Amino acid sequence: MDPIIRQELYEYLARFITENKRSKIEEMVRLRTRYLTVVLEDIYQPHNASAVLRTCECFGIQDVHIIENRNKYTINPDVVMGSTKWMNMYKYSGQANNTPEALHHLKKKGYRIVASTPHRNDITIETLDLNPGKIALVIGTEIDGISQDVFDMADEFVKIPMFGFTESFNLSVTAAMCLHTLSNKLRPSNLPWQLPESDQLELKIEWCKNILSKPHLVEAEFWKEKGI
């Protein structure tokens, strides 16, 4: 659709929200990124699943890819605190094993598959180089970690240094520490981490609709006024 019409739609929708909320939308959309995305493989604990989503939203990660193999991804609304309405979630659940499809899809989109796990060829999250291209950070299940498919298809492996007896961090903690480290490296850089203007506009429209109580009626009135 004509970007001018889309901009007009946004301006029309924004008339029905407060100036404070519009300012927040304008601010947050400039901080959103798809240079980093998170892939959750077969997570089954609703509390952890929800905590990761909340963390992703707090760090401005727009897309989260959810792989459902044995386990259905369940969200606890008390944990996500409404964060999911500001994000895009993509689920892969049509087959017995959906991991290859998800990772192939991300590779076609230009993502490097970076698996969070101790591995003989791993590096620390602090030393991961962001310059070669976009990163899809894969986090596995609470008990088993990532699957063999992820091991086989990953481009790189990262770990968080540990100094205690416990074998691993909680997966929501892992996500938070990885995203904190990567976000702090990415945002001051000259890499193209911000969304294109067209994507920003689409998000602003969707976020306005999320705020409005009856967005379909407001949008219908816009198209009526435009004669479209």
The string of pLDDT tens digits covering residues 35-62 is 999 999 887 777 787 888 899 999 999 9
CA atoms within 13 A on the CB side of 58: 15
**The whole model's pTM is what?**
0.91
Structural domains of the chain sorted by starting position, each given as residue range(s) with its CATH number in brackets: 33-194 (3.40.1280.10), 202-228 (no CATH)
Rounded Cα–Cα distance for residues 212 and 157 (Å): 42
State the SS3 of 118-174: CCCCCEEHHHCCCCCCCEEEEECECCCECCHHHHHHCCEEEECCCCCCCCCCCHHHH
For residues 133-142, average pLDDT: 90
Q: What is the pLDDT of residue 171?
A: 84
pLDDT digits (tens, 9 = 90+) for 158-199: 988 888 888 778 888 899 999 999 999 999 999 999 999 999
For residues 197-224, average pLDDT: 96
Task: Show the CA angle centred on residue 214, arms to residues 212 and 219, nearest 5°.
Answer: 90
